[in-house]
């Protein structure tokens, strides 16, 4: 395919061409936004490695009742309103990896941005939240933790 054929295709299919351009721009914008958001996403296997290393603070932002139904071993339950740099769980964790998770990913992403803004150096979000953890057949524990 050469340049003339590509232009002819675009001329015959303007809506398809506009859709392609729109999707390309959206993908580029999303990737640029991800580079500058300040926190990183972790896959369940990466979180498992970090937990096994023993230095990660894992915070589950789910409602208390949801947390008690099942959560990652060693995770702590905080409500988004409690997630402040002065909270006892976070007071000494500015240099430690802090991993946030929730049931949907919305609350953890918002909280991650706030922690980065507050000066936390290593902030992570579990990609896909707790459903991704469960889909990877990783264990949950019940109760208050």
The residues annotated as belonging to the active site are 102
Cα separation, 39 vs 91, in Å, equals 19
- The position carrying tokens 């295709």 is 9
Cβ 63 vs Cβ 102: under 8 Å: no
**CA-based angle 71:76:80, to the nearest 5?**
100
Token code pair at residue 77: 């339950």
Non-local (6+) Cβ contacts of 73 within 8 A are 51, 139, 140, 141
Cβ 108 vs Cβ 129: under 8 Å: yes
């Amino acid at each position: 395919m050469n340049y003339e054929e590509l232009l002819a295709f675009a001329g015959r299919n303007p809506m398809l061409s506009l859709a392609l351009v729109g999707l390309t721009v959206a993908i580029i914008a999303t990737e640029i936004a991800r580079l500058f958001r300040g926190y990183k996403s972790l896959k369940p296997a990466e979180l498992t490695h970090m937990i096994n290393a023993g230095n990660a603070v894992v915070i589950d932002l789910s409602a208390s009742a949801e947390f008690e139904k099942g959560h990652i071993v060693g995770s702590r339950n905080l409500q988004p309103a409690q997630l402040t740099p002065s909270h006892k769980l976070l007071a000494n964790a500015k240099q430690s990896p802090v991993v946030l998770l929730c049931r949907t990913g919305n609350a953890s992403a918002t909280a991650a941005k706030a922690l980065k803004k507050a000066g936390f150096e290593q902030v992570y979000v579990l990609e896909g939240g707790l459903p991704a953890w469960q889909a990877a057949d990783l264990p949950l524990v019940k109760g208050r933790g």
